Amino acid sequence: MEILGLLAALLLSWLLGVVWLRVRWLKADEIVWPTILGYGYLAGALATTLVIRLLDLMGIHLSFPSIALTLVLLIALGIWGGRGLPWRGLHVGSDWRALAGWHKAIFAILLVIIVMRLVGLGLEVIWQPLFSWDAWSQWATKARVWFELGHLAPFAPPDPWLQAGGAYYDRSPEVPPAIPLLQVWMNFGMGRWDDALMNLPWLMGAIALALAFYGQARQWGINPLFAMMFTYFLLSLPLLDSHVALAGNADLFQGVVYGLAAFAFFHWARHRATWQGGMAILLGVGCMLIKTPGIGWALTLLPALWVALAPRAGLIGMLILGVLGLAALLLFGQGGFNLLGYSLKFAFTPVWGPLWDNLVIVDNWHLLFYLFAAVLLLSLPRLFAPAYRAMTVVVGAALVFVLMVFFFTHVSAWVEDYSTVNRALLHLVPMLLFYVMVLFWEAPNLSAIPDAESNGKAGTKP
């Protein structure tokens, strides 16, 4: 019964997201099944955390029945107001038939390797108790308290906690509650506390990322084999895999949510598909539900939105805002100030050495940043062409954000001791690899590789 309850908790969240992605007003007519499954789980998981918060706000005792009943009602409402059953009219297609000759064998081998990798990571999640420091010092603490009490008891900083009481304390009482609420929901499903099985959403997050990455590549019109190759590249990254195996931290979900928001924005910027724009907005806002820096990641999409809507004014405006931002840092940064939890100060800390080691020497990212540098250099003449302008601005804004944090805040100390640098980079890596894939695929002559169908449109563009 415990396993059935756990599976029910996972599937209810997944179905919730899938159903609401198929509502009529999103106009998701041309959508391939990996895309809807990947986005469906992530959107449903985030929506489940909001449902739990709403029930708590209404004074309803949190339990599996109260949360599950609410999700079932929302699923029924989505089916009633949408297209009926979510798979009705869904473009499935056959990527296998779209490939010619030996391409099929390579595609199958890569798919088997990816599945084996996910199975191995799943076993790590199931077998290994809560291990990571941050996982049990600032996330699972809240999950345990909320699970036992059946309501979202407040957590407070040390001074208010000591003076007033009536609250709980852990290492980071101020963090958003989405991550521990995912763990609470899993434990409610089982009917007991289990610090290993409650982390299955991390495996599901990796599966959702793989499905969404591959699906959005196919929506772009990229050859199935090429899309599968880059999906394999993504799931073979050591740091990403370690954040699945050592489940419980928020960084994997921050990277997945931001990545899926960026994929959708890239599509919207080029084709203006309604559902892609909706996903970009919803998941962009969803970044703020995971970690406090998620506000910064969400904001990196705004300059690109400006450029997509008004290219000339957007580029000029970004230049002006960049100059004003630098001036503000010069004027107000001498004494330092807090921004999104970071102590920002105009005091440059040269952490080039540790950053270089982590990007290109230590085997954290394989050859990702070599590939990024090579593709960027080869694509320089077209980075700001109309087809890539908005994408390039997103990548630039994300890099500016992370480098500002590394070089101008207290985080520089954590870069020097190699403790945080890669966790922060994980937030932008899925988006970065998708950008590299698109530039690589649309290099002269490469996208002309024929399929068995000769048109390469098994995964249709919106």
Mean pLDDT along residues 127-139? 89
Six-digit token pair at 309? 């809507």
pLDDT digits (tens, 9 = 90+) for 370-411: 999 999 999 998 898 888 999 999 999 999 999 888 887 778
Instruction: Say yes or no: 307 and 406 in one domain.
Output: yes
> In the predicted model, what is the mean pLDDT of residues 7-26?
90
Same domain, 132 and 263: yes
Residues 89 and 173 both lie in one domain? yes
Report which of residues 288 and 346 the model is more confident about.
Answer: 288
Average pLDDT over the chain reads 87
Q: Is residue 457 part of a domain?
A: no
The CA distance from 52 to 184, in Å, is 10
Based on the fold, state whether residues 186 and 333 are members of the same structural domain: no
Q: Which of 113-127, 255-269, 340-354, 381-395 has the lowest mean pLDDT?
A: 340-354
Are 76 and 26 in a shared domain?
Answer: yes
In a domain, 268, yes or no: yes
**151-164 core/surface letters (b: 16 or more CB in 10 A; e: else):** ebeebbeeeebeee
247 versus 343: the higher-pLDDT residue is: 247
Model confidence at 348: pLDDT above 80:
no
- pLDDT on residue 461: 40
Alpha-carbon distance of 36 to 22, in angstroms, equals 9
Please say which residue of 289, 321, 347 terminates a domain: 289
Q: In this structure, are 202 and 70 located in the same domain? A: yes
301 and 275 together in one domain: no
Q: What percent of the chain has pLDDT over 90?
A: 60
Structure tokens at 95: 């990527």
Per-residue pLDDT band at 98 (split at 50, 70, 90): confident
For 145, the domain range is 2-289
- φ, ψ of residue 155 to 5 degrees: the values are -115, 140
- For the stretch 141-169, pLDDT in tens is 999 999 999 999 999 888 777 776 778 88
Query: Tokens at residue 70, please?
Result: 């609410």
Over residues 189-203, mean pLDDT: 96
Claim to verify: residue 368 and residue 238 sit in the same structural domain: no
Instruction: Looking at the structure, tell me whether residues 331 and 273 fall in a common domain.
Output: no
Indicate whether 203 and 80 sit together in one domain.
yes
- Looking at the structure, tell me whether residues 225 and 330 fall in a common domain: no
Q: Which residue has the higher pLDDT, 402 or 449?
A: 402
pLDDT at site 459: 41
Query: Could you tell me if residue 455 is inside a domain?
Result: no
Rounded-to-integer distance, Cα 296 and Cα 403, Å: 12
Within a domain: 388 = yes
Among 239, 258, 289, the domain-final residue is 289
Amino acid 147: pLDDT: 97
CA angle 236, 237, 241 (to 5 degrees): 85
Number of Cβ within a 10 Å radius of residue 335: 7
pLDDT band at 30; cut points 50, 70, 90: confident
The answer as to whether 453 is a domain residue is no
Residue 237 and residue 426: Cα distance in Å, rounded? 10
Q: What is the pLDDT of residue 317?
A: 81
Q: Is residue 437 part of a domain?
A: yes
Nearest by Cα to 315 from 325, 303, 299, 324:
303
Highest mean pLDDT among 14-28, 108-122, 333-347: 108-122
pLDDT for the residue numbered 47: 97
- Tell which of 270, 289, 308 closes a domain: 289
Q: Is residue 203 part of a domain?
A: yes
Residue 444 has pLDDT above 80, yes or no: no
Instruction: Read off the pLDDT band of 46 (50, 70, 90).
Output: very high
User: In this structure, is residue 441 part of a structural domain?
Assistant: yes
CB 197 within 8 A of CB 126: yes
End-to-end Cα spacing for the chain: 42
pLDDT tens sequence across 216-266: 999 999 999 999 999 999 999 999 999 999 999 999 999 999 999 999 999
pLDDT of amino acid 455 = 38
Mean pLDDT throughout 110-137? Answer: 93
Q: What would the DSSP string read from start to end of 292-326?
A: TTHHHHHHTHHHHHHHHHSHHHHHHHHHHHHHHHH
Q: How many domains does the chain have?
A: 2
Q: Are residues 282 and 296 in the same domain?
A: no
pLDDT greater at residue 460 or residue 216: 216
Q: Is the pLDDT of residue 25 over 50?
A: yes
Tell me how far CA of residue 196 lies from CA of 127, 129, 130, 188, 337, in angstroms: 7, 5, 6, 14, 39
